[in-house]
Structure 1
């Protein structure tokens, strides 16, 4: 199998919400949540890529932006 790369496209809302969730995941004991250590490297890579791509992470109104993105992504009842 070759080492070709995979590209994943996310909306800015999806990226922000996923980044926040991955940050929380990484703050836990990953071995309790992710039972295969081979998955840890891709988790860290995705999180790092999102961190670099999202200037919102450092905005003073980050919490409000995150909540607004969550609201837009949640299915309507």
Structure 2
């Protein structure tokens, strides 16, 4: 199986996975232990492909990527 993401999508997803995968409340919603196998694979693949996570300007790149992606969503997800 192959999944294609834009650089912005990959960067934002990698950051999000890194922040939430180790939180207890996230673990509580993953109700099937087998799903962790896919989550670990996706997270690992993103980390090995994204050299920008080691870049000193990472936080700026991440913020810019978030803004571009949010701009593409239109009103979806707004409260």
- What stretches of structure 2 of length at least 5 have no aligned partner? none
Number of aligned residues = 72
- What stretches of structure 1 of length at least 5 have no aligned partner? 1-5
Residue 19 of structure 1 corresponds to 14
Residue 65 of structure 2 corresponds to 69
The TM-score, its normalising length taken from structure 1, stands at 0.86
What RMSD, in angstroms, separates the aligned Cα atoms of the two structures?
Answer: 1.2
Give distance in 1, aligned partners of 2:44 and 2:74: 31
The 5 Å alignment of 1:1-77 reads: 6-29=1-24, 30-74=26-70, 75-76=73-74
Moved over 3 A (4+): none
